[in-house]
Amino acid sequence: MLVDALQFNKPARERFEEWRAAGLTAVHVTVAIWEDSTETMREVGRWQRHLAEHADLLCEGRTADDIRAADRDGRTAVVLGFQNSSPFEDDLDLVGAFHQAGVRIAQLTYNTQNSAGAGCWEADNAGLSRTYGVNLIREMNRVGMLVDISHCNERTSLEAIETSERPVMITHANPRAFVGEDVELAFRNKSDTVLKESAQQGGVVGLSMYPRLAPNGQACTVADFCDMVAYTAELIGVEHVGLASDYYAGQGDEELHWWRQGRWSRKPMVPISGQVDFPEWFAAGSGYADVLAELRRRGFGEREIELISGGNWVRVFDEGFRPGPQG
């Protein structure tokens, strides 16, 4: 079983065929960053159409059992998620509505401050909102939607973990202490403190070869990536380590500008270079086989490989996608 916990490709059959060629059992896809509820529901509808039109390659991933079925059928389960809480429009009723529509994961923030908390572009004196942010997490716990802190700042991340009664995910980020400060988006990576607190609660971190986050940036090799896997497994336990490329293919400049500045800025608030190429070895996901082979060469056992490649994600999906106590 092989799970990629974050991709943001422009949907196309070419992408879906790449997933199958890479042996991906499940992919968590992004349906919203800055969109409101109506815009997001349109994107959910488009994904429903893709699932129907490409049912030979895809199925929906609403439950962990859906992902297990995809593994048996030789298809890729698509898990719908948000990279921001903007689609909820500060309305807790929309959390359950989007869960009914198939959304199973939502980040609290995307880089900036919002009603829920502070993103990684903000100073660490800002944290989780004691009103909306706390209640949003409680509602996500209740309906069965996983809380994701990948783009949150340090304080919001820690306070979200403290608030949630269910494991909090870091779907796509790397350990800052290992990667260092020289990569372009070093501040987006997570401290060892956040990684340890998430793991202690049962969370999983998806390690990424996205060049702005990865060790040695665009020069990241399979060996570099596996060094990071080994570091993280030693730090928090192999049961809390997964994979998440943050791969985006087919997206143009207009989409990139949208991600970086939304409607709230005339230009990116944090300088970021143009499009960057993923390491050649990754090759739209086929490089995961080389990663797993390198981990085996280093002495990781087959059970550990199974956990890292997808077993850990399926475990937390099994719990987190189910409704919680209806208090």
DSSP E strands, the chain:
3-7, 26-32, 58-60, 76-82, 103-107, 146-148, 205-207, 241-243
Helix (H, G, I), strand (E, B) or coil at 67: helix
Q: What is the pLDDT of residue 265?
A: 72
pTM (two decimals): 0.94
Helix (H) or strand (E) holding 118: none
| C-alpha–C-alpha distance, residues 227 and 86, integer Å | 36
Report the pLDDT value the prediction gives residue 146, as an integer from 0 to 100: 98
Helix, strand, coil distribution of the chain in percent, nearest 5: 45, 15, 40
Cα 162 from Cα 152, distance rounded (Å): 14
- Give the single-character DSSP code of 309: I
Beta strands in 23-163 (DSSP E): 26-32, 58-60, 76-82, 103-107, 146-148
Tens digit of pLDDT per residue, the chain (327 long)?
A: 999 999 998 999 999 999 999 999 999 999 999 999 999 999 999 999 999 999 999 999 999 999 999 999 999 999 999 999 999 999 999 999 999 999 999 999 998 999 999 999 899 899 999 999 999 999 999 999 999 999 999 999 999 999 999 999 999 999 999 999 999 889 999 999 999 999 999 999 999 999 999 999 999 999 999 999 999 999 999 999 999 999 987 566 666 665 566 776 766 666 666 678 899 999 989 999 999 999 999 999 999 999 999 999 999 999 999 998 775
Quote the CA–CA distance of 304 and 313 in Å, as a whole number: 13
Predicted pLDDT at 277: 87
Q: Which domains does the chain have, with CATH numbers?
A: 3-320 (3.20.20.140)
